[in-house]
Every structure is written in structure tokens, then in C-alpha cells.
Structure 1
Amino acid sequence: MFGTVKNEGGMLFSGNNFKVVKKVLKSGEQIPSHNHESDNIVLSVLKGKMEMYLNDTEKHVLVPGDILNFDGVNFIKGTALEDSEFNVTLVKK
């Protein structure tokens, strides 16, 4: 077998320079403010609707198909506006 398929929440894949995590949130659940200083972040919404803030000031409302990219030195926090699923890819700088 050459590929691996996963669809559950949590850590999906990791390597020397990356991690892929799937988050599954119910409507109203929140992601507390945090950062990942040593990574670049790619956040891809799969289902639902997410309201995300970077550094408490930059607001993004994300729906399926939206991809948010940012330097992990920035702080992110968010709220699921609907039941939501999204992948977070962390790539070492």
C-alpha cells in the first residue's frame, strides 16, 4: 500500500518537519488563544463555519473550501459557528 487514508479527529500524520491535525467541534465550542512560534500554519475548513481571530484583531469567517495561512508566531483563537471540521497543517520553519 502506498497511501494512508484517515478521517478521525486528532493527530492524523506527522513527520520531521510537519504535523496534520483534524479538529472536530460542535457549534459554540471554542479554541483558546494560542500560537505555534516555530511553525507556519495552514488551516483548511472541511465542514461547518468557523470564526477565527489572529492576534485578537484580524477576523476571518471560514466556510468549507476556505484555507487560512499564517505565521505561527501570531496568536489564533476561534469559535465554531456551526458543527465544524477542519485540518490544521503545521510546517516547521
Structure 2
Amino acid sequence: MTPLMIEPQAIVACPREFQGWSLVRSFETAHYLLALCQRGEAIYLVGQEKKKVEAFITAMAKVDGEKIVAEDAKRFSYEIRQGTLTVKKAGNIIVQEGIQ
């Protein structure tokens, strides 16, 4: 399967693999482009690292008040809270940066 590509700009719709899903919100940081996509009860955090356009992120997300948490198949965890994205691997913070 061809990797999904998201152009490095604001996300205005869910990626083609999520056709028919609603864009809830998009997020951009210095290094990431992310979108929260929903269909029914299912919510996914999707996107990519800006420098690694082939590295597509897709993770089932949970929204808990003001906090969004998700973990992908590679065991990276993503948390968005109070205007900050935190990316962790095995509990160690890899990136923590503000949402633009």
C-alpha cells in the first residue's frame, strides 16, 4: 500500500483513508501535523511528522474533557492537553511542544 501523504499545511479534511469521517479539529506544532477524525463513536488521531512525510501516524484516540490521548501501533503515545502536544515512547518524552 502506498503511504498516505499529508501536505505540510493546515489539515482541512480527514485523510483519504478516513473518507466519510468528520474532521473534529486539526493541530499543528513545529514538528507535527495532526487531525482528530470521528465517525460515530470512533475517534482517531491521524497525521505525520513534518520532516518525515512517509511516517504516517494513526492511533485510536480517547477524548477526556480537555485532554486527548492516543497510542499508535508502534507504541508511541500522543497527548494533547492545554495547548501542548507530548509524544512519548516507553514512557519517555520524545517531543513536547506547543500547538500553533
Specify the structure having the higher radius of gyration (Cα).
Answer: 1
Greater relative contact order (Cα < 8 A, sep 6+): 1
TM-score by length of 1: 0.30
Normalised by the length of structure 2, the TM-score is 0.29
